[in-house]
Structure 1
Amino acid sequence: MGETKTEKASKTSWFIGLKAEFGKIIWPDKKSLSRQTAAVVAVSVVLGLIIAVLDVIIRYGVDNLVKL
């Protein structure tokens, strides 16, 4: 079962369309990229700390319930 001409043409046009869409991407400058990266890291650290604190509180509560 080989490829037909329409399958090959559709793949070629797909890659042409992909290249055209890729050219429309507006890449951020270094300053914007560094600010966004710092924001993502900061939010990740804060959420990690919140989850860790909640984990300790819940574990303490469950341990106390089990001991009863």
Structure 2
Amino acid sequence: MADIEKNAGQEAVEKKAKKAAAKADSNKSGSKGKKETKEKKGFFSRIAGWFKDLKKEFKKVVWPDRKKVFNNTLVVLAVVIIGSVVVGLIDTGLLKLMQFLMGLSN
């Protein structure tokens, strides 16, 4: 029984080693093939390619409708106003506290 488990363990190790070797070989050959077949593009052709890719990406974007933009704008404005009021109140409270403490020291 122990021999069977030992053989199974050795077979698993051998399979992993073969897979790792095959993967390393494919990575080496794949990178060479890309370098050999791919020629270097010129500056302007790379820029043109970048704009083509940009155009493709903009087609994939799902733009929100007018109502959603309006609602999101209202939410942002409300949060900014509420945050400003809270920070202002904290600032005023700390100012009064400092004036009170400075008055005690005199």
Q: What is the TM-score when the length of structure 1 is the normalising length?
A: 0.82
2: distance between equivalents of 1:66 and 1:59? 10
Which residue does 2:69 correspond to in 1? 33
Structure 1: runs of 5 or more not aligned: none
Identity %: 28
Alignment of 1:3-42 (within 5 A): 6-42=42-78
RMSD: 1.3
Alignment of 1:42-61 (within 5 A): 42-61=78-97
Deviation, structure 1 residue 66: 2.4
Paired residues in the alignment total 64
Which one has the largest radius of gyration?
Answer: 2
Query: What is the identity, as a one-letter code, of the residue corresponding to 2:49?
Result: S
Q: Which has the higher helix share?
A: 2
Deviation, structure 1 residue 13: 0.5
2: distance between equivalents of 1:19 and 1:66? 63
Query: What is the identity, as a one-letter code, of the residue corresponding to 2:55?
Result: K
2: distance between equivalents of 1:30 and 1:12? 32
1:3-41 deviations in Å (ceiling 9; x for gaps): xx6211111101111111112221111111111111111
2: distance between equivalents of 1:41 and 1:9? 44
Structure 2: runs of 5 or more not aligned: 1-40
